[in-house]
Amino acid sequence: MQLTTDRLRLTRLAPDDWPLFQQVHRDKTSMEFISEVPQEADIRQRFTLRLAPWQVTSYHMLCLTLRLAETGEAIGLIGANAEWIPWRQAEVGYSLLSGYFNQGYGTEALSALVDFLFEDCEFHKLRAQVVEGNWPSRRVLEKNGFQLEGMLRDNYLLRGQWVNDWAFGCLARDR
């Protein structure tokens, strides 16, 4: 499986992608709104789980690497957790290495993933949750047709503090 954009190539996570996966999870700036920097064993476990083959009805995450089309340089991760039965929905998420922030890569990658999930996989709705205050991530979602559906109060424990999450949704008919 490969998705392409003008500047990016998105491919299934492979065993050779361990250095990228580890680097993204150790990048404090990338992890600011996600979690504390995980322990090495936790990163390895997450990586191993995401290597499993994926199909639309899978109960585990589809994880794709983002690479610059021109050079092949790995710059981040993007994926989706599906809830096919009975909802035909998926939750999307993404994380770039901080050196690639604010260059439009997140927006471009999410656009390709959204197209794939709606057109090829026939999902009805895509969702995303973003920690309140993560404006760059919110902009990425809104540029891709996601609408704010509400706020989930004290929804997530982030570095010892309860934080609110913005809940976003995008329907296939909205694209």
Instruction: Please report, for the domain that includes residue 112, its CATH number.
Output: 3.40.630.30
Residue 44 has pLDDT above 90, yes or no: yes
Sign of the torsion angle spanned by Cα atoms 64, 121, 7, 111:
negative
Residue 160 is assigned to a structural domain of this protein: no
pTM for the full predicted model:
0.94
Residue 7 is assigned to a structural domain of this protein: yes
Residue 114 is assigned to a structural domain of this protein: yes
**pLDDT confidence bin for 60, thresholds 50/70/90:** confident
> SS3 of 172, please?
helix
Between 28 and 38, residue with greater pLDDT: 28
Residue 35 has pLDDT above 90, yes or no: no
- Output the pLDDT for position 96: 96
**pLDDT confidence bin for 7, thresholds 50/70/90:** very high
Element (H, E) at 167: strand 161-171
Residue 149 is assigned to a structural domain of this protein: no
Question: Structural domain of residue 64, as residue ranges?
Answer: 2-125
Is the separation of the CB atoms in 74 and 85 below 8 Å? no
Name the one residue in this structure whose structure tokens are 């990228």: 20
Query: How far, in Å, CA of 76 to CA of 73, rounded?
Result: 10
Residue 167 is assigned to a structural domain of this protein: no
Residue 85 is assigned to a structural domain of this protein: yes
How far separated are the first and last CA of the chain, in Å rounded? 23
Over residues 106-127, the pLDDT tens digits come to 999 999 999 999 999 999 999 9
- Output the pLDDT for position 21: 97
The total number of structural domains in the chain stands at 1
**pLDDT confidence bin for 84, thresholds 50/70/90:** confident
Residue 142 is assigned to a structural domain of this protein: no
- Output the pLDDT for position 87: 87
**pLDDT confidence bin for 83, thresholds 50/70/90:** confident
